Structure 1
Amino acid sequence: MTRLAHFFSRLTLLALVGLLGFILWDRYTPPAPPATLEPIIGQIDRIVIEKSERRMVVFQGDTPVRTYNIALGFAPEGDKVLEGDGKTPEGLFKIDRRNEQSAFHLSLGLDYPLPEDKARAHADGVDPGGDIFIHGQPNRRKSPDPILMDWTNGCIAVSNAEIEELWAVTPIGTPVEIRP
């Protein structure tokens, strides 16, 4: 077998494995979240996201009431600088909108970019990006996905069941701290 034929046979095999992985990923149905969690009673007061831990904690007063595993932007290290960089912004934000008609299962919008983000981007001659949300899984999928990897364009993703819980208890104006 020539080197070129060997190369193409390996390339074909790699493409088939990738296609099989994509097909299986699209049909995977994860187990339902545990039904033993007590529901969150009342509204939450703040959200803290720890990017390095892939964790989001919601609080009522000083009491943490729920912890979620999260997915972030596809290039999560560091603060968001420009549109398309795949980074999740860091800092203090607020929930400023709710979208039931999102391309993802429900979404809670953050007030990014802040004036200082816009000023920095303007000084650098770039677009700071926007439309940063806490949201569920893409609506095109058949079921909620487990959080296996970072895949968003800079948003914070949870399972569909988790965003439904958050949606019910998170008012507009809720502070959100995103830590490195």
Structure 2
Amino acid sequence: MAGLGSAGVQANIEPSSTLEEGMEPAFSQAGFLYSLDAMAMPAGLVADEVWVSVDLKGRLVTVYRGEYVIKRIEHLAYGAGGAAPLRAKGSSMTPLGEFRVDRINRTSRFGLFFGIDYPNAEVASEALRIGKITPEEYHYIETYRARHGRAPHTTALGGLIGLHGLGSGDPDVHRRFDWTEGCVAVDNYQIRALDPWLNIGTRVVIRG
């Protein structure tokens, strides 16, 4: 991507367009990027692409357009079992990596649910390589994705992971604990604030 240097080296950034109202530079000093590790950008990012960064450690959900911040949401809860690149069904772990929104449920018990494509092709390939799933399960995942346009949830890797609200859940529990079965949760007001920006295919980068 234009303007990106090697990690730890300053690089000039040339925005493709002027900032719209409500947008701000993604970096602490506009015009410079100090480390590629400071923000996990999706591969092949295009200038006006809307994407979402989920920072579990910082408990921050940020919506970007290209390199610029559209919306920043503070505080989230994630899986009670922690986080890892590969999660097992029933582990209550949140998957780390790059995903895409592959389903939107506006009548979820959590109020609003943006499902991501875990396990995607990269996850399934790695799980097969290290023996977490069988060749038959790998074939099933790829066939299901091709037929239905979304990831299955019935293999050893689990699924039905996404970003969602609380629904009728307890806000106090949400503030104090990581309580989900692997999803990323924000409050009901915050999930509605994400609605205008997330669509089928929107990239979601989850990092710990």
Q: How does 1:109-120 map to 2 (within 5 A)?
A: 109-120=115-126
> How high is the TM-score relative to the length of structure 1?
0.68
Selected match of 1:131 from 141, 157, 160:
160
Gaps of 5+ in 1: 1-37
| Aligned equivalents of 2:194, 2:174: Cα separation in 1 | 17
Give percent identity, aligned residues only: 31
The answer to whether residue 185 in structure 2 is matched with residue 177 in structure 1 is no
Q: Structure 1 residues 44, 116: CA separation in 2 closer, same or farther (over 3 Å shift)? A: closer
Distance 2:164 2:172 in 1: 12
**Which has the larger displacement, 71-80 or 163-172?**
71-80
After superposition, where does 1:22-171 map in structure 2 within 5 Å? Answer: 45-68=50-73, 69-122=75-128, 123-125=131-133, 127-137=156-166, 139-141=167-169, 147-171=175-199
1:73–1:152 Cα contact (<8 Å) kept: yes
- Which protein has the bigger helix share? 1
Say whether the 8 Å CA contact 1:107–1:135 is kept in structure 2: yes
Distance of 2:173 and 2:111 partners within structure 1: 11
Any idea what the Cα deviations from partners look like across 1:40-91, whole Å, max 9, x if unmatched?
8xx9701011111121111122111222221100022433420111111011
Describe the shift of the 1:145–1:160 C-alpha distance in structure 2 as closer, same or farther (beyond 3 A).
farther
Offset at residue 39 of structure 1 (A): 7.3
Match of 1:101, as an amino acid? T
Which structure has more relative contact order (CA 8 Å, sep 6+)? It is: 1
- Tell me how far apart the structure 1 counterparts of residues 91 and 188 of structure 2 sit (CA, whole Å): 25
In structure 1, C-alpha distance between the alignment counterparts of 2:169 and 2:102, rounded to whole Å:
26
Larger Rg: 1
2:84 aligned counterpart, secondary structure: coil
- RMSD, matched Cα: 2.6
User: Contact 1:144/1:161 (CA < 8 Å) preserved in 2?
Assistant: no
**Contact 2:171 2:187 (8 Å CA) reproduced:** no
Q: Where do 5+ consecutive residues of structure 2 fail to align?
A: 1-20, 24-47, 134-154
1: distance between equivalents of 2:201 and 2:160? 16
**Letter paired with 1:131:** L
What stretches of structure 1 move > 2 A for 4+ residues in a row?
A: 77-81, 115-126, 139-148
